[in-house]
Amino acid sequence: MTDKVQYYIEQGLPELKDLEQKKIFSKLECKAIMKKRTEFEQALARRIAKKTDFLRYVEYEMNLEALRKKRVKRLNIMGKPTVSDWAGQRRIFFILDRATRKFHGDIALWVQYINYARSQKSNKVINRAFASALQMHPTCPQLWILAAQHQFEENGDVTAGRTFMQRGLRLNKDSEDMWVEYAKLEMVYIAKLYARRRILGIDEQEEETKQEESEDDEDGNIKLPTIIAAEMDDGTPKDKNLLSEVEVKALTNAANNPALSGAIPLSITKSAFSALPKSTSLPTRLWELFESFKQLPEVRQQLCQMVEDYLRTQFPNTPKALFFLLVLPTKTLEHGAVDPAFPAALREVLKGFSATLVAARPRAELYDLFLAYLHEYLSLPVLETNLEKLLSAFFAKTVKDAEKEGELGAKGYAVWVRRLLAKERNAEAGQVLERAVRKWGESRDLEEARELL
């Protein structure tokens, strides 16, 4: 046993002694714990330590700490906290810290360290881990996002969350994930502000104020709101659950308040489009994010419309953008295929396909996307019989037109094979697959389709 290993083991002796005195673990169990820790420490002290050694050590200590807590609860041990109450968690942090120092280039290890610290609500360790991780990996979007989420979601500090996002974006302008998560942070913040307005009754008060301002009394004088004595304190009316003036201003006047009107996520979206002008996935991801905030109808509509206009103007011939815009009527349905408005929305999509196909370049990509879209709905068990017949006929016509024009890609052929197999037309599916291989050779999509035969 090296001096370093012996030192680390001796550091845990007071904890084991305390556990034995409290009768949480027996003397034999404490000896077994010390033996196991010695084995782990010797593995870490090797010239070439392995990441798995650290992870096994951490897993053992986590299980041991969980067992200790269960026994404390079962034995109903009360009283002033002693060394064994906090030594286990501290040891886990220490092992993870040593692991990240040894394998500082391993992002997954840093994330595991941070997530465990967050689960234990240890802000001091979290802040230290984030500082070290971001210093070593400033171009890792995942770490910046985690830091911002921690500040906003757990500390309730939207300003600090924005700061992490903005600093991260300076170094990672081409990260779609960071732009989307930044927009999400602001949307969640707006949703929280509106929820607080409802709780405080600010929406109702603003509506009442508008009505009072529009009403005149019988003498033609404007009616003024009444303030009772209990609401007065040194001549100042009390309201909004004693909110500060700054808080009141942040929550009132939604139409003129950028924090409530969606101006901030709108600005983020514009900056994102400027940073990644060639990306079609970024606008679609942002649209799906904004659409998910059903509780913010006006803000959602404004932002979604902005994204749709951007796709139309910047990608007038791009298949992915055209396909996304084409299927919007079914994307906006709250209950999908079981929504009462689904049949009408689906017919609108089918009606617009021909015009969309004319604009698409290359057309093969749009064909592939649209056939996959039709196959997805045809695979649903809840689809009505009439709609199933309509979609089946449209699918058959579309796939044959695409093949005739020479615009059917490998993915389109693979979808066609799956559709035929779903209808138990195996022989025809095999023939289609042969034609696909002759045209495109072996591809991953076709190989997966072949496995289904």
**Phi, psi angle pair for 237, to nearest 5°:** -70, 140
CA distance 117 to 99: 14
Angstrom distances, CA of residue 440 to CA of 97, 174, 411, 437: 51, 33, 10, 5
Q: Are 30 and 24 in contact (CB under 8 A)?
A: no
pLDDT at residue 139 in the model: 98
What is residue 220's predicted lDDT score, i.e. its pLDDT? 52
**pLDDT value, residue 205:** 58
CA distance 309 to 323: 14
**CB-based burial of residue 186 (10 Å sphere; 0-12 exposed, 13-18 middle, 19+ buried)?**
buried
pLDDT for 102 equals 96
Q: From 187, 345, 184, select the one nearest 261 (Cα to Cα).
A: 187
Q: Which residue from 127, 105, 109, 107 is spatially nearest to 118, judged by alpha carbons? A: 127
Contacts of 130-133 with C-beta under 8 Å, sequence gap 24+, read: 132/100, 133/100
β-sheet bridge partners, residue 232: 237
Write out pLDDT tens, residues 388-420: 999 999 999 999 999 999 999 999 999 999 999
CA pair distance 223, 195, nearest whole angstrom: 30
In the predicted model, what is the mean pLDDT of the chain?
Answer: 90
Q: Which regions of the chain are under pLDDT 70? A: 1, 203-256
250 burial level (CB within 10 Å; 0-12, 13-18, 19+): middle
> CA torsion, points 436, 441, 446, 448, in degrees to nearest 10?
160
Domain boundaries defined on the chain: 1-103
